[in-house]
Each structure stands twice: as structure tokens, then as C-alpha cells.
């Protein structure tokens, strides 16, 4: 009898298994997702370079951080562009010439990345590939060819046929013709000029109020403000509320050889690109 009582007592002492609070778990996950979306919409977000339009500074496979607060917030700030189109910006400020920005085109397709060239009130014109701002030629200086290593994300033969070569080590490279362009505010950056193209000439245009004019650094392979929407471009200046943020720095870059196998990821990292700032030093550029 005593043994039975002891067994009953031991059973009574065992704690009951706690039930999982699935509603609480779902709420926690939901709050975490909302926090991530808020951060991406208001503070910063990652961005992937999908095309060659911003070469030589940005390569396909580069991953960037874009600050969302640099120019204030607008209808394009939320990650999924869920707000209706609205004019203006909250706590808004204009970009500077030379800033690299992400933007939403007028047709609201996927975000693009380009460089700010002209600001509201500027008269912009192109003659033979050279920019004229308010009647003054933007300085361009010929630089030595840039040798870009050829890889799966930079095959060279597709976009730059005939420019394949090898470097001193015998490795395949793409020899790109480079010009150093310097804007009136002292910002300098390299562009690729492949020779005469239809986009080398653009009739004088006064940029409307609260609009900006954007171009890619790969001048002959960029559908930007010089190109009509029918031909896949931005169709002229775009409203400043379509600017989603400013590109700040490269976090890492992949050469396009990654597979499902995690062991392939380490070998796919391009060396020397992580941490590269995309904010030009105007003081250094002016020297």
C-alpha cells in the first residue's frame, strides 16, 4: 500500500508538458518581419547589380548597401512600393551631382541604378559623347585601358566583343577604354566610351523643377535619361520622388560561379571589392 502511494506521489510531482503558444510564435515572427521591412524601407537595404550599365565602377554580381534616408522618403521608399504615386518627399533633399542612386522608372518596373548628372534648372546637352551643363563642357580625360578580369558575370565577349586579351600573368581580361569625367562640383569618376553611338548626342534640354537627369557610367550600354521609354530607357528626366536611395558601398561581389553547394561560395568571391565606397571624395577629385 505504501509503495502505491509513493508511485502516485511521484506521478503527481511530474510537471505537465508546456503547450506551444503557436499564436504567440506567429506574432513574434510577424513583428520580426515588420521590423526588417521597416529597416529596409526607412534606413538601408541591399541591392544587387544585374547589368553592365554602371561599369567600370560597378560589376554584375556586386552587392551594395543603399541608404534610404539620404534624400528623405517618398512613395518609392517602401520595399515593395505599396504606396500610391505621390509628389514630393518627406524631409526631402535633392541628390548631388555625381551621386549613384537607385530609382524607380516612370513605368514602375524593377529598381534601377544610375548616376545623377543634371539637377533641376540645368540645361543638359550631349555632343559626340561629351556632356555640356549650362553651356559648359564637362571635363573628360583619356585614361589607360582598364583590364577587368573575365569571369561568368563579366564574360566580355557579349558586351565588349573584340576587347578580350590577357594580362601579364596570362589571365583573360577585358581591355576597356576609359575616360575620367569631372562634374562642376568636383566629383570625378571613370566612364567607358566604346566610340560613336546614337546616344552620344542629345539636344539641349532644361531639366524641370524637382526632376533629375541620370546616366550610366557605361555610356554606350546604358538605357538612361537619354533613351526613350519605347527603347527601354528612362525617357528623359525623372521626378525626384522616384529616387529610392543612395548607393553607399559594396558589401561583396560574386563572379557567377556559385552553385547549390556551399563549398562553391567561397571560391566565387571577387577579391578587393568588399568595402569599396561609392561616395566620391570631392576634395580629392578637385586636386
- CB of 74 within 8 A of CB of 96? no
- CB of 155 within 8 A of CB of 149? no
So what CATH class is 46-286?
A: mainly beta
User: Can you give the residue ranges of every domain in the chain?
Assistant: 46-286
- Cell numbers for 174: 577585358
Q: How many other CB atoms are there within 10 angstroms of residue 85's CB atom?
A: 14
- CB of 154 within 8 A of CB of 163? no
Alpha-carbon dihedral sign for residues 43, 49, 54, 57: positive
Q: What is the pLDDT along the chain (287 residues), one digit of tens a residue?
A: 444 555 555 555 555 666 777 777 777 787 887 777 777 777 899 999 999 999 999 999 999 999 999 999 999 988 877 788 888 899 989 999 999 999 999 877 689 999 999 999 999 999 999 999 999 999 999 999 999 999 999 999 889 999 999 998 899 999 999 999 999 999 999 999 999 999 999 999 999 999 999 999 999 999 999 999 999 999 999 999 999 999 999 999 999 998 888 888 888 999 999 999 998 766 544 44
Active-site positions? 53, 114
Amino acid at each position: 500500500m505504501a509503495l502505491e502511494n509513493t508511485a502516485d506521489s511521484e506521478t503527481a510531482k511530474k510537471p505537465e508538458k508546456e503547450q506551444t503558444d503557436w499564436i504567440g510564435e506567429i506574432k513574434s515572427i510577424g513583428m520580426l518581419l515588420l521590423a526588417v521591412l521597416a529597416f529596409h524601407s526607412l534606413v538601408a537595404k541591399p541591392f544587387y547589380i544585374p547589368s553592365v550599365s554602371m561599369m567600370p565602377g560597378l560589376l554584375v554580381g556586386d552587392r551594395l548597401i543603399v541608404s534610404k534616408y539620404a534624400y528623405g522618403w517618398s512613395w518609392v521608399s517602401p520595399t515593395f512600393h505599396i504606396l500610391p504615386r505621390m509628389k514630393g518627399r518627406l524631409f526631402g533633399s535633392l541628390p548631388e551631382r555625381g551621386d549613384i542612386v537607385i530609382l524607380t522608372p516612370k513605368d514602375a518596373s524593377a529598381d534601377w541604378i544610375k548616376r545623377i548628372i543634371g539637377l533641376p534648372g540645368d540645361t543638359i546637352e550631349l555632343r559626340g559623347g561629351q556632356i555640356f551643363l549650362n553651356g559648359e563642357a564637362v571635363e573628360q580625360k583619356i585614361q589607360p585601358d582598364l583590364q577587368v578580369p573575365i569571369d561568368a558575370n563579366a564574360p566580355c565577349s557579349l558586351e565588349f566583343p573584340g576587347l578580350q586579351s590577357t594580362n601579364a600573368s596570362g589571365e583573360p581580361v577585358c581591355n576597356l577604354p576609359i575616360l575620367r569625367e569631372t562634374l562642376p562640383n568636383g566629383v570625378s569618376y571613370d566612364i567607358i566610351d566604346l566610340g560613336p553611338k546614337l546616344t552620344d548626342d542629345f539636344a539641349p534640354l532644361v531639366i524641370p523643377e524637382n526632376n533629375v537627369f541620370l546616366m550610366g557610367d557605361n555610356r554606350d550600354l546604358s538605357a538612361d535619361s537619354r533613351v526613350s521609354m519605347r527603347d527601354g530607357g528612362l525617357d528623359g528626366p525623372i521626378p525626384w520622388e522616384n529616387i529610392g536611395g543612395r548607393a553607399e558601398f559594396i558589401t561583396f561581389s560574386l563572379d557567377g560561379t556559385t552553385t547549390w553547394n556551399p563549398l562553391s561560395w567561397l571560391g566565387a568571391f571577387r577579391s578587393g571589392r568588399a568595402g569599396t565606397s561609392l561616395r566620391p571624395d570631392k576634395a580629392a577629385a578637385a586636386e
